[in-house]
Amino acid sequence: MDMDDAIPTYGEDALMSRDVFFMGQDSVHFFVEDADQENLYELLLRRCFPELDRLEVFPQGGKKAVLAHASAGYERVQGIRRIYILDRDFDDLLGRIRLGDGIFYFDQFSVENMLFNECGVLEVCVQEFPKSRKADLQRTLNFNHTVSVWFDHLDRLHRAFLLVQRFDLGIPNTKTPVDNYVYRGERHVFDIDAVHAYVESVKLELILKGVLNEVVDFENLMANAFPEQSLRYVNGKYLFALMYFHIKSQGLASNMRGYSLVYRCAGACDLGAFESFTASIRAYLAEGDMASRVRAA
């Protein structure tokens, strides 16, 4: 049994109501999607909001659960502010963004995207090999070149994923592991045939559904799926999985487990990607504080 599987977890109702135990304490309650990422979010949010004396994180077990909590009409409690944080996924491209009091979306596909940068990954490599010269580790990591090699495959896959969701094709997409598209013995190297096979399966479903015809061309649909070529539309879990196996292949990771790379990057990476996101939340909290002072007066 995996150690993670042996740790007791909260049920759905318990996840929804955990914050009632913190009532009466001045704090900001952050509700997030992933039930297994409480430690990650606590580390990240404490870095993003060092000015908050009391900060609590409540994973809800999915986007629907976070939105359900946000719309459940829980009574306002003096001293408690609730913030709902959501992965963007393809919601903006599909017109699925939910507006509401205290709801905030990451600027990119997921929290992993926001954390994915050379600074964080390189620092983790330094932690693994603190006696090595940082310049040597950076040269071995070869971050920008490595990501550029992956990009075309990631971009094409995710354009196909978006078409699956847009036209409701019923084909597994962003939830599938990146392992489906890489070589088994080299899990940081894309299997071009596997990527092509998936994209062709999407094309076939679009033909069967009558979406493609003399007027609507598949490659035009793919080209227009995203407004630009950018990693912000790529599943960040893919990026970290690929990077983990890349640094292992380069001898830059010893006994590190896959997802611990994400956690360690949350503690080490540059937070520049979060500037707009955190500024929006700070403005929201400041408005609430001002309203509270007006009511008190």
Q: pLDDT tens across 205-262, in order? A: 999 999 998 888 999 999 999 999 999 999 999 999 999 999 999 999 877 888 899 9
Look at residue 17 and tell me whether its pLDDT is greater than 80.
Answer: no
- CA gap 3, 14 in Å, rounded: 22
Helix (H) or strand (E) holding 103: strand 103-105
- 286: its two tokens: 């400041």
pLDDT of residue 20: 45
Please report, for residues 44, 115, 192, the alpha-carbon distance to residue 264 in angstroms, rounded to integers and kept in the order given: 10, 10, 31
Look at residue 98 and tell me whether its pLDDT is greater than 60.
Answer: yes
pLDDT of residue 26: 73
- CA gap 54, 212 in Å, rounded: 54
CB under 8 Å to 177, separation ≥6 — which residues? 241
For residues 6 and 263, the answer to whether their CB atoms sit within 8 Å is no
Please report, for residues 8, 85, 145, 175, 274, the alpha-carbon distance to residue 238 in angstroms, rounded to integers and kept in the order given: 27, 21, 17, 10, 20
Torsion, Cα 120 256 149 277, to 10 degrees, reads -40
Question: Any bridge partners for residue 12, and if so which?
Answer: none
Per-residue confidence band for 293, with pLDDT thresholds at 50, 70 and 90: very low
